Structure 1
Amino acid sequence: MPVALLLLALASGRLLAASVTVEALLPNTAVLMINGQRKTLRAGESFDGVKLVSADATIALLDINGARQRVGLNRNITTNYVAPERREVQIPRNERMQYITGALINGRNVQVMVDTGANVVALNTRQAAALGLDYEAGMPSTVETASGVSDAWVLNLERVEVGGIPVEGVRATVVVGDYPTTILLGMSYLQHVELRERNGVLSLSREW
């Protein structure tokens, strides 16, 4: 069976700096020097990541990249802000209408199939043994498969990563027997990412 390959992984994270000096104050108006540019802002207005929330004759309340600061007349403030990092991976659909891609479970390479109908990550005992999982130390359970009811164990995987998007402490079920033949990437991982499907390509993305 052809395996759909991981096509794209994007990461963006940048450090932003803001230097702000309060040059003049009026009720709900402030003249600010923002990163070397002089701007007059009224309450509610923004420039280059700096928003004037309110002002009186002595203090300006500023929202700088999401953090609020009180700055007095002729005072300067410099802040550093790390913009959220966003990663995205795209998985093409195969001829069986499946989304299959590579992943890392506890640092080991595996193939997984995206399954939004599965509550948790699911794998069989052979796959679990290959990953070195002590699954019998998990919580005994049962699951219903196409072959009937099977014994299973429920445990937490230390880390699951797809396309550079890691999630720690992912709930998984290890099923006795050969089901599933491909590890199912269920909602215990997928709930932490944004899913988007378009023209036969499934995108997984996360910002943090």
Structure 2
Amino acid sequence: MKVFSKALAGGLLLAVMGPLTAAQQVQVVGLFPNAAVLLVDGQRKLVRAGQVGPGGVEVVSADARGAVLRVNGVQQRFELSREYGGAEGYTAPSTRAQVSIAKGAGGHYWVAGSVNGQSVQFMVDTGATSIAMNDSQARALNIDYRVVGQPMVVSTASGTERAWRIRLDSVKIGALTVLGVEGVVLEGGSPTQALLGMSFLSRVGWREEQGVLILESKH
């Protein structure tokens, strides 16, 4: 069983909708400190404060609550979970929960989440078959893996390791919650960070777009 490979990591973003102008469709679909992921007429790009993105839209400032953009020379505040239409007025946001994660240093994606209601920092790893963690991380999450887990041997980059297959009651990333997720606990210090593998990712929609990893509920 392959447990983990090259991991991807980044910072957590909640999906955010923004205004529409008569000539452009402008949305804010992700937020970082002093940066926003813009979707302008179908073009998606991470734009930092003071820079101009697709369609000449400038990011003036951004924080966890929203972004201030300058669109066609007009400065506007784009709030969380709101979408506006120039001629059509307010449009309800999509019912699908969505999380956007920007690519971090080293080309990895990092995301904060929770396991069984307890906080954990994940590296996203599309090469991992399951959520994977080391034994000290499992103990910190109050997972008695030796009692509830099934002993097994897994292959890693450094060879074979003793491990336990477990079932996690719930795994939550932003607004996405998946119940009954398979996980693996490895003896020793590997992996150094908990890995968000395919046992979670396969149960949500996911895609990469210009340095942003987008997770979305399937229903």
TM-score bracket, shorter-length normalisation: 0.5 to 0.7
Q: Residue 92 of structure 1: which of 86, 102, 113 is its match? A: 102
Q: Normalized against structure 1, the TM-score is what?
A: 0.61
**In the alignment, which residue of structure 2 is the partner of 1:107?**
117
Alpha-carbon distance in 1 for matches of 2:116, 2:181: 10
* 1:128 aligned counterpart, secondary structure: helix
Q: Deviations over 1:39-67 (max 9, x none)?
A: xxxxxxxxxxxxxxxxxxxxxxxxxxxxx
**In the alignment, which residue of structure 1 is the partner of 2:210?**
199
Which of 1 and 2 has higher RCO (CA within 8 Å, sep 6+)?
A: 2
Change (3 A) 1:172 1:165: same
**In the alignment, which residue of structure 2 is the partner of 1:154?**
165
TM-aligned CA deviation for residue 143 of structure 1: 1.1
**In the alignment, which residue of structure 2 is the partner of 1:186?**
197
Structure 2, unmatched stretches of 5+, are 1-8, 18-93
Alpha-carbon distance in 2 for matches of 1:111, 1:4: 10
Q: Residue 164 of structure 1: which of 175, 179, 196 is its match? A: 175
Asked if residue 135 in structure 1 is aligned to residue 145 in structure 2, the reply is yes
Percentage of matched positions with identical amino acids: 43
Alpha-carbon distance in 2 for matches of 1:183, 1:116: 13
* 1:188 aligned counterpart, secondary structure: helix
TM-aligned CA deviation for residue 5 of structure 1: 2.4
Alpha-carbon distance in 2 for matches of 1:191, 1:207: 10
> Residue type of the partner of 2:110?
I
* 1:192 aligned counterpart, secondary structure: coil
Choose between structure 1 and 2: higher strand proportion.
Answer: 1
Do 1:10 and 1:87's aligned partners in 2 also have CA atoms closer than 8 Å?
Answer: no
Do 1:144 and 1:150's aligned partners in 2 also have CA atoms closer than 8 Å?
Answer: yes
Alignment coverage as a number of residue pairs: 135
Change (3 A) 1:147 1:177: same
Task: Give the RMSD, CA atoms, in angstroms.
Answer: 1.9
